[in-house]
Amino acid sequence: MTEAEALEWIAELFEESSDAIQADTPRDDVPAWDSLGVLSLIAALDQRCGIVLSGEEIEKMTRIDDILEVLRVNKKLE
Amino acid sequence: MPFTKTRSAIIKAITSCVPPKQFDNMKDATEFNIEEVKKVVRMAGVEQRYMANDSICSSDLCLAAAKDVMSSLGWKNDTIDLLIFVTQSQDYFLPSNACLIHRDLNLPASCAAFDVGLGCSGYPYGVWLASMILQSPGFKRALLLHGETPTRFSSNTDRAVALLFGDAGSATAIEANESDNEGDEWVFSVHTDGTGYSDLIIRGGGFRDRFPNDRKSCFVHMNGANIFNFTIKSVPKLVDDTLEGAGLTRDEIDYFILHQSNRFIMSHLAKKIGIPSEKLPLTITKFGSAGGPSVPLTVVNGGLKRPTDKPLKLLMLGYGVGLSWGSALVDLSPEAVLSHLVLNTIN
């Protein structure tokens, strides 16, 4: 997917409008990215991209770009 | 080892038992605001659960269940050869719960009785142990008891666990198979990863920290993200290994009985493994996550359709604290007696 599509997908996952989710948006600005949101993120990465990260890697994420980086490293971004 | 086998035994009866106090998350969870509660209920699926008070222990729930299976089968106390009690919420550090039950059921001195310290994976492990021991000469009847009271070791203000847990006990009566039918086997797959020991842990109160200054350390701590990751990695392979061991396909399994950890996690696993929803009984809505005993609780209360002319093939899966995970692929005959009771605290 493209970066724009990825941002759209992440916005949907966290039930936010697409303009509220940008690469530099910090985790603290995304209310749904809490302990339950982390589970949704883990499930979504696994289901859509076949990516399974460790809990530690997930915890280290502090902004949206960290999710994009995971997609980049796993060659899921065009 | 990806899988192992035992000669099949016979599950004669299973009784599950819950405490009388019913807790409705939407109405009774006053420690959290309603929006938060709704969110957790929507995701984890726990609408209500049953909670032990300060005086009800896993032994009480399992004793009632054990009496029920013995009475429904007409099993006399002096015919029990083996009692296994699987729990991580035992009454005392010592002696074992198995010895307390041995006293309460007035079992004979010839009965082997011991506890097994496993949680979420406890039921498949317990069935594996019982079926192995029942292959030994002299062992004919076993009681496998599995009970936990997780609401008593979780803080009611810890968002990660407070709305999730329910308490339950169970008793499974298993008999050695003395027929000449050599073809029948049960298949198991049992695993451990101790590096994840701190992902689900009660740090205080044991001998590592006997009298902790911070009382909170006597409550369970759960790293939900790590546990979820572990289940995603381990459970699909657990299913594949067990089916390979049995030479069966997913279609040939009547029901997949998953440890009722969290509805969201179970649904994700089901999709990933390819389990259709009609083969995945869910009891978490009504009982919460009762730890390992959620497996027998779901066999009894999961609305299983039971044909009268052939046994059900059940693939039971437990995974969590340890980290420990295991499967048991067993038959449940049409004659097996399943019942559920609410603990009567008046007597």
**B329 and B216 in a common domain:** yes
Distance between CA atoms of A37 and A16, rounded to whole angstroms? 12
Strands B221-222 vs B112-116: parallel, antiparallel or unpaired: unpaired
Contacts of A40 in chain B (CB under 8 A): 43, 264
Contacts of B38 in chain A (CB under 8 A): none
**B267 and B227 in a common domain:** yes
Q: Of the candidates B160, B223, B268, which has its C-beta nearest A43's C-beta?
A: B268
Q: Please check whether residue B191 is in contact with residue B37, taking contact to mean a CB–CB distance below 8 angstroms.
A: no
- Token pair listed for B346: 């008046």
**B250 and B167 in a common domain:** no
CB contact under 8 A, B268 and A46: yes
* Contacts of residue A73, Cβ cutoff 8 Å, sequence gap at least 6: none
Buried residues in B332-343 as b, exposed as e (16+ CB within 10 A): beeebebebbeb
Q: Please check whether residue B346 lies inside any domain of the structure.
A: no
Query: Residue B274's pLDDT is what?
Result: 95
Rounded alpha-carbon distances, angstroms, from residue B167 to B52, B97, B156 = 6, 16, 14
**B163 and B15 in a common domain:** yes
CB contact under 8 A, A43 and B228: yes
Instruction: Determine phi and psi for B144, rounding to 5 degrees.
Output: -105, 110
Last residue of a domain, one of B118, B150, B175: B175
Amino acid at the residue B82: L
Residue A59 has pLDDT above 90, yes or no: no
- Tell me the sheet residues that pair with B4: B188
CB contact under 8 A, B43 and A42: no
**B327 and B214 in a common domain:** yes
Query: Residue B234's pLDDT is what?
Result: 95
CB contact under 8 A, B159 and A35: yes
**B249 and B136 in a common domain:** no
Is the CB of A2 inside 8 Å of chain B's CB atoms?
A: no
**CATH number (domain holding residue B131):** 3.40.47.10
Averaged over A65-70, what is the pLDDT? Answer: 92
User: For A39, which residue in chain B has the nearest alpha carbon?
Assistant: B225
Which of B38, B262, B268 to probe the A interface (max A CBs under 10 A)? B268
Neighbours of B234 (CB within 10 A): 17
For chain A, give every domain's residue range: 3-73
Rounded alpha-carbon distances, angstroms, from residue A61 to A4, A25, A30, A55, A69 = 19, 12, 12, 10, 10
Query: Residue B199's pLDDT is what?
Result: 94
CB contact under 8 A, A58 and B225: yes
Q: What's the complex ipTM?
A: 0.84
Distance from CA of B166 to the nearest CA of A (A): 19
Query: Residue B203's pLDDT is what?
Result: 96
CB contact under 8 A, B225 and A46: no
**B73 and B198 in a common domain:** no
Distance between CA atoms of B45 and B260, rounded to whole angstroms? 10
Contacts of A60 in chain B (CB under 8 A): none
**B76 and B19 in a common domain:** yes
Please name which of B66, B69, B68 lies closest in space to residue B84, comparing C-alpha atoms. B66
In total, how many domains does chain B have?
2
CB contact under 8 A, A42 and B160: no
User: For A56, which residue in chain B has the nearest alpha carbon?
Assistant: B226
Last residue of a domain, one of B107, B140, B175: B175
Which of B38, B40, B229 to probe the A interface (max A CBs under 10 A)? B229
Distance between CA atoms of B206 and B15, rounded to whole angstroms? 31
Distance between CA atoms of B314 and B42, rounded to whole angstroms? 28
Q: State the maximum Cα–Cα separation within chain A, in Å, rounded to a whole number.
A: 29
Buried residues in B280-293 as b, exposed as e (16+ CB within 10 A): bbbbbebbbbbbbb
DSSP 8-state symbol, B95? S
Distance from CA of A26 to the nearest CA of B (A): 19
Averaged over A9-36, what is the pLDDT? Answer: 90
Tens-of-pLDDT digits for all 347 residues of chain B? 789 999 889 999 999 999 999 999 988 888 888 888 998 899 899 999 999 999 999 999 999 999 999 999 999 999 999 999 999 999 999 999 999 999 999 999 999 999 999 999 999 999 999 999 999 999 999 999 999 999 999 998 887 788 999 999 999 999 999 876 666 899 999 999 999 999 999 999 999 999 999 989 999 999 988 999 999 999 999 999 999 999 999 999 999 999 999 999 999 999 999 999 999 999 999 999 999 999 999 999 999 999 999 999 999 999 999 999 999 999 999 999 999 999 987 64
Is the CB of A54 inside 8 Å of chain B's CB atoms?
A: yes
Q: Please check whether residue B203 lies inside any domain of the structure.
A: yes
CB contact under 8 A, B232 and A58: no
Look up the domain containing B53 and give its range. 4-175
**B146 and B99 in a common domain:** yes
Q: Please check whether residue B344 lies inside any domain of the structure.
A: no
**B164 and B191 in a common domain:** no
User: For A47, which residue in chain B has the nearest alpha carbon?
Assistant: B272
Distance between CA atoms of A66 and B112, rounded to whole angstroms? 55
Residue count (chain A): 78
User: For B199, which residue in chain A has the nearest alpha carbon?
Assistant: A55
CB contact under 8 A, A39 and B159: no
* Contacts of residue A77, Cβ cutoff 8 Å, sequence gap at least 6: A1, A2, A3, A6, A68, A71
Contacts of A50 in chain B (CB under 8 A): none
**B150 and B78 in a common domain:** yes
Q: How many CA atoms lie within 13 A of B159 on its CB side?
A: 12
Q: Please check whether residue B221 lies inside any domain of the structure.
A: yes
CB contact under 8 A, A58 and B229: yes
Last residue of a domain, one of B144, B175, B206: B175
pTM listed for this prediction: 0.94
**B262 and B127 in a common domain:** no
Q: Please check whether residue B80 is in contact with residue B174, taking contact to mean a CB–CB distance below 8 angstroms.
A: no
- Superfamily of domain A3-73, CATH level 4: ACP-like (1.10.1200.10)
B42 three-state secondary structure: helix
Which of B164, B221, B226 to probe the A interface (max A CBs under 10 A)? B226
Query: Residue A53's pLDDT is what?
Result: 84
Q: Please check whether residue B345 lies inside any domain of the structure.
A: no
CB contact under 8 A, A47 and B268: yes
